[in-house]
Structure 1
Amino acid sequence: MNKILVFIVALVSIQVYSQELFSIKNGIVIPAKEYSLWHFEDRDESIHEYQQIDSTTISARNGYSYDIRVFQHVKDDPDKEMLDTVFSKLEIVPRSPIVLLEAPNVLNKISFVNQGGWLRFNYWSFDPYSDNPRREIGDESFRYYHLSDDCIALVLRGWRDSVSPADLTLIVLYKNEAKLVYFVQKEITTASTEGDLVTIGLDTPVHDENEEDMISKIAHSKLILGNGTIILNDNYSVTDL
């Protein structure tokens, strides 16, 4: 009887805390929830306001590839102190496999603008709420993970301040699509790979009920990437500080 109760509790916990961030229906990526990147009304988004600071091409296992260009807006770094670090625009150009091309490859440019800004992935330390935050080497603008042969996830990190964690952004690439599927304030603590699955640990500070500037707890979440999807286990436990 006890074993049955334990199984039922575990099953309920999975249902309560786990959700897929997107699905693919009729060849289209459907985010489980709509998210909006930061947008300010007073910013000029003309092409001449941007300069390109990075570019790379990544490939899915099914033959699709994606040219990704990274742009910095003049207002991202008005004091010119982070010329090669902060950026606010991604341009993604999907390219179909040659075997699928019956006509010239028409380039479909997909843009994402986050006026709140992203930073190179390793700019901040990781696990900042622990006693031993760590730093990692590398200057990539984002990390990417294969979810399946035809699907890739991009992971980006934004600004962090003294109170709030950095913005975490997930974009899914699928064939000729690129869709925003997650945008929240959570800190990355760990990233580990086991077989075809990647698990990313996330922490969120919980502020004291009486003193808003004081952090009293840390809520723990995790993302599981693989098997064609991304599963969020949100706030599955809380640690008192």
Structure 2
Amino acid sequence: MGVSSGYLEAWEGFWRDTPVIPGAAIWDCDSALSAEPHLELLSPYLDAAPLPAVDLGCGSGTQTRYLAKHFGRAYGVDFAAAEVDYACRADPDGMAEFRQLDASDTAAVERLHAELGTANVHMRGVIHQCEAAARPAVAEAVAKLTGERGRAFVVGLLSAAKTVLREIAEGGPPPKLASVFSHGLTPGEVDDAVVPELLCGAGLSVLAQGRIELVMTEYRPDGSRIDLPAQWLVVGRGE
């Protein structure tokens, strides 16, 4: 179906204006606080055969580069050209491969699947940020890419995250959060059951799940880090 032009331009503008510095984006935390613990939770469910990894909604590519160390081949995909350019510039050694791809574009996802075959998918904080109409197609993309043997590790914000963000924004948001708001980017309202329901609706089974923090790179005036309450799921076909 594809994203709307206004939504695309908002993300293009955000990544054009964000300096290529680790942690410059509010969600661009070190992989030791994100992909590394995610992989520890995912590993027991992985197929023994080596599969490539797809970081769906890769952003700066920080987590993609970590995945490349463990899966051999890792592909970071995102729908904004400025975002992909940012990820490439942040990866001068070419550890991972980055491509522009709209996960709600069924034909584009089909082409990627035809090229890569079955893959393991990492998706951190994407569905809540999608336009509502695109969310089912994004869940279908996870199902298509993982196929019969792949697994996906999916992180989605819990509804309580809205309260945290609202409290932080009172009296003026800190700089990194202000940058997100200034580009017209705000997390969508998603009930806690929506992410697992969308994935199951795409034909996937929830193999494991739990609570986790979506680690941020911004801090409160008292020095405490702003982390957002989230849920994690390992999904795939079969047991």
Scaled by the length of structure 1, what TM-score is found?
0.25
Larger radius of gyration: 1
Scaled by the length of structure 2, what TM-score is found?
0.26
Compare relative contact order (CA 8 Å, sep 6+) and give the higher one, 1 or 2: 2
